[in-house]
Every structure is written in C-alpha cells, then in structure tokens.
C-alpha cells in the first residue's frame, strides 16, 4: 500500500498540519535552506525503500540542521538566598540514536 494517497485522504489541512513533499536530487540545497531558516532539519530516504512500520532502518535518516543535545535531569535542589533559581544536579546526556 502506498502511504501518500492514503494520508492525502485522511489528513485534512489545518493550522500547523501539512503533508510532506519531496525534493529529488537537491537534498544538499534543501538542507542548506532549512539550516538558513533555523528549521530543525530534513528527512532523507533511499528512493527505492519502503515504509517499515515501527522499525528504524538506515533507509530513512533524520538530518538535523540545528545542533542540540537532549539531557535528563536526575534531580535538583531548591535555590536559597541570592541563588533563588532551582539548581540542576546529575544531568545525563542521552545517547545518540
């Protein structure tokens, strides 16, 4: 089953919702534009690959334009005196997927 036509039928246009389109052969230029506009990134896929529900493959790649890192905060202490803001304790970087 091709997902595109099915999604076009069930997803109705709404604020903040848009079906994706694709750009063939211009991935680098698209990435540069996305980066220039401060957007998160792009999804690149092998043209011949199919969608694999609930499975990660190297056929689909999320390429981030913004450098960022995710952390888990293991705890914090309440601020006191001149340091009224909470203070982070034991931050741990999440592994890259």
Q: Read off the pLDDT of residues 30-57 as tens digits, 9 standing for 90 and up.
A: 999 999 998 889 989 888 887 778 888 8
Give the residue from 45, 41, 40 showing the smallest Cα distance to 57.
Answer: 45
Name the pLDDT band for 79 (thresholds 50, 70, 90): confident
> Are 46 and 54 within 8 A, CB to CB?
no
Cβ atoms of 43 and 61 closer than 8 Å: yes
Distance CA 88, CA 86 (A): 7
> Spelled out in words, what is the top-level CATH class assigned to the domain 3-93?
alpha beta
23 or 92, which is more confident? 23
Domain regions of the chain by residue span: 3-93
- Which H/E stretch holds residue 64? strand 60-64
pLDDT of 87 > 70? The answer is no
1 has a pLDDT exceeding 70: no
Pair of tokens at residue 48: 């011949």
């Amino acid at each position: 089953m091709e997902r595109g036509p099915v999604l076009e039928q069930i997803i109705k246009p709404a604020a903040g919702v848009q079906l994706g389109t694709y750009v063939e052969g211009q991935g680098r230029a698209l990435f540069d534009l996305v980066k220039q506009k401060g957007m998160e990134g792009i999804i690149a896929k092998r043209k011949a690959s199919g969608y694999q529900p609930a499975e990660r493959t190297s056929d689909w790649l999320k390429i981030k334009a913004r450098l960022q890192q995710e952390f888990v905060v293991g705890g914090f202490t309440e601020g006191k005196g001149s340091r009224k803001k909470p203070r982070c304790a034991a931050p741990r970087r999440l592994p890259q997927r």
